[in-house]
Amino acid sequence: MPLEFLARRYDTQDVARVQIAGDRVERVTLLTADELAALGPRVAALPWVAPGFVDVQVNGWGGQEFSSLEITPEQVAQVTREHYPFGVTGYCPTLTTQSYECLAHGLAAIHQACETMPEVTHYVPGIHLEGPFFSTEDGPRGAHPKEHCKRPDWDGFQRLQAAAGGRIRILTMSCEFDESAEFIARATASGVCVAIGHTGADGPHIRAAVDAGAQLSTHLGNGAHRMLRRHPNYLWDQLAEDRLTASLIVDGHHLPPEVVKSMVRAKTPERVILVSDVSGLAGKPVGRYTMTSGLELEILPDGRLVIAGQDQLLAGASLPIQYGIANVMRFAGVSLATAVAMASTTPARLIGAPCGGLRPGDLADLALFHWAPGARTLEIAATVSHGKVLFGKLP
């Protein structure tokens, strides 16, 4: 059945009638002055409509992490459904550093879910593998277990890609190893978007990585030493490299507002994507938890997710991506249209994934939400994927 609703366009702020046929946008027409007058004060209650959000760093939700020896295809589908209320219409399940056995199992479960469950197939354009090719140095390593961090290993990566059915779309790795550049060139040639992250690399290593094909800085400003020399350092090197897009966690915990503003201005909004980096513990109540790796984590009352027993070493995030969209407007002074692009069209373009839009023929992957300037989050009213309402109600 065709869908039709009224909403305010996120990019022009005009009130429009959106018509959807099948899985595509059929027509978007602006309301006339007479139609607006007939609506009267009801116009103010209409939601905004935008392309659905594409979150390329999601570690799990509700107690389930993808890096697990126990995860099943059904649990992958459950995590997918739990993202419907966030306006997300595409995401990259993200596996973090663990044993090859654990990673291969998680990758295989995601691949099986994509092969057998259409709702997962539509939702998952690819998998993000964050590690295990990381520095073992404290600081850059972050919360990734030291015993499983290792040097780049092409044969090992190929085994993981085979377990994933070829679905690994992003690989985050350190680039200070002598073999990093060659590895990056091979991965890039195979169609993988290589990201620099959890690294203590110097300028020459970063330039060599980018020359070899690296395209992204993963959660820039995090997964780093707590103390850095003023200059040079790997944050400046990545900020100054115009060939790198930067992903940022703008949950209000991972980066101070001034840092977000400076990074967005340095990279320009066109080279920034927003990620949630939500942990498998996201959605759980405040408390202390033991992960399958044995790592003790804690969710603090203010929403921070930290290594248990202290309040500074973050171990992922607990807030979904709509918080980052609202926060980047507050912190960096960008427009709604720009903030939405950072969480939808820009990440989709980076990995060659489908994304919704408001032109005739665009995929009907849309997020409808309420938002007011200064708000700390978007209130999602409805999520539409492939022309079907997965969450909420259309106005």
Active-site residue set: 277
**Which tokens hold the place of 316?**
């992922």
Cβ burial of 372 (10 Å; 0-12, 13-18, 19+) is exposed
CA angle, 140 as apex, 135 and 145 as ends, to 5°? Answer: 65
Contact 246, 219 (CB under 8 A): no
Tell me the C-alpha to C-alpha distance, in Å, between residue 258 and each of 151, 255, 316: 34, 8, 21
- Per DSSP, 285 falls in state P
Q: In angstroms, what CA-CA distances link 225 with 229, 244, 297?
A: 10, 21, 20
